[in-house]
Structure 1
């Protein structure tokens, strides 16, 4: 497993950093693809920064940079995304942005990676869905709709790739324990939320050869919420 190469979109975020750390601990070779650039990364990690994954050409260029550096690509983890709270009434300005950040980034990165993942004996794509997209709450319409689209992308692509080595799955977290969520919900108990390290462990299991029998799955990771 030590020769496997994983590309992590959104790798500079809180969850992304947790996945990078866990992947390195498993002996994986790691590339971070992110809109941000110039962030410190652990030794041996390739940073491909300044990438707008809503642009198919930039997504392809980023994936090709990973393959040029490591010589292969086995795993794509689509962690890049965003969240906003907004009611349906009063404006639709955030709907397009949520679909761009959550769905289009995953779609473009997956399309760019597929030729290389198909060449792997154990190709993997893991997407980040949302438990909150199963039933949208007040103010969650745009976010939940975009994440629901990620769920459908996961299922459809898994079906398309059943004749290949590539599996496609998604994790559906509830509230992730991040500094931003603690600031936004100061009265909540973060011990009930999902720790980034625990979510990273679930993601990396789905990315492993041992998960070859699982594809098209939407796996709830909901802590104690």
Structure 2
């Protein structure tokens, strides 16, 4: 008997990790709904979208309830159901000492890294609960476990995201829905190579390795994993 095709939503899909995640699930034969904050970014990365309905490209602000409700309804209308949500989108800032963090910086990090998880999952969790199955995988950070100098708002926001992952997991696991995260150290991306010259990227975590771990958490084999944060250290 042929396995059912899975429907996967990926946020931050035009970024380095998002592209790797999309490639991984596409290779597994999944139908993809790819979300990023600029449609042209998606269109520049993914060729021949929506030709056969296996790949939807959608622009949305993941911090906006209204935008995510609209896009979520469009995706559900096209796919009928969503089996996996991978929330890659987020933000990183550093530079301010903790006592000098501005309200604007604080809210920007909290919106991008914590509140967005609520806005993104809201359209899809009810359907998962109704079907009694589903996987949600967020991208948190190794630095969510402890504060780092000049990264107070970022660390706090990723820690908040982990608590949200754990709380949602507690609420939905009994209905057959798994909610977890990967918590990578430094990802080997073009941006990180540019921003950290002189650092050996071979000790970082490749986007391909991170995508494989996300795919594992989204698989049937991870059905007994709930509310966990898989730390990806690389060699750093």
Q: Normalising to structure 2: TM-score of the pair?
A: 0.91
Task: Check if 1:89 corresponds to 2:99.
Answer: yes
Kindly indicate whether the alpha-carbon contact (under 8 Å) linking 2:204 and 2:235 is maintained by their aligned counterparts in 1.
yes
Task: Check if 1:167 corresponds to 2:167.
Answer: no
1:102 is matched with 113
Task: Check if 1:192 corresponds to 2:203.
Answer: yes
Mapped to 2, the partners of 1:136 and 1:13 lie a distance apart of 26
2:30 is matched with 28
1:158 to 169, 172, 176: 169
Between 1:32-41 and 1:162-171, the stretch displaced more is 32-41
**1:121 Cα deviation from its structure 2 partner:** 4.8
1:73 to 75, 82, 93: 82
1:19 is matched with 21
Instruction: Extract unaligned runs of 5+ from structure 2.
Output: 49-53
Q: How many residues of Structure 1 are paired with residues of Structure 2 in the alignment?
A: 224
Kindly indicate whether the alpha-carbon contact (under 8 Å) linking 1:121 and 1:165 is maintained by their aligned counterparts in 2.
yes
Task: Check if 1:54 corresponds to 2:63.
Answer: yes
Mapped to 2, the partners of 1:121 and 1:42 lie a distance apart of 34
SS of structure 1 residue aligned to 2:179: strand
Kindly indicate whether the alpha-carbon contact (under 8 Å) linking 2:101 and 2:153 is maintained by their aligned counterparts in 1.
no
Task: Check if 1:116 corresponds to 2:118.
Answer: no
CA RMSD, aligned part only? 1.3
Task: Check if 1:7 corresponds to 2:18.
Answer: no
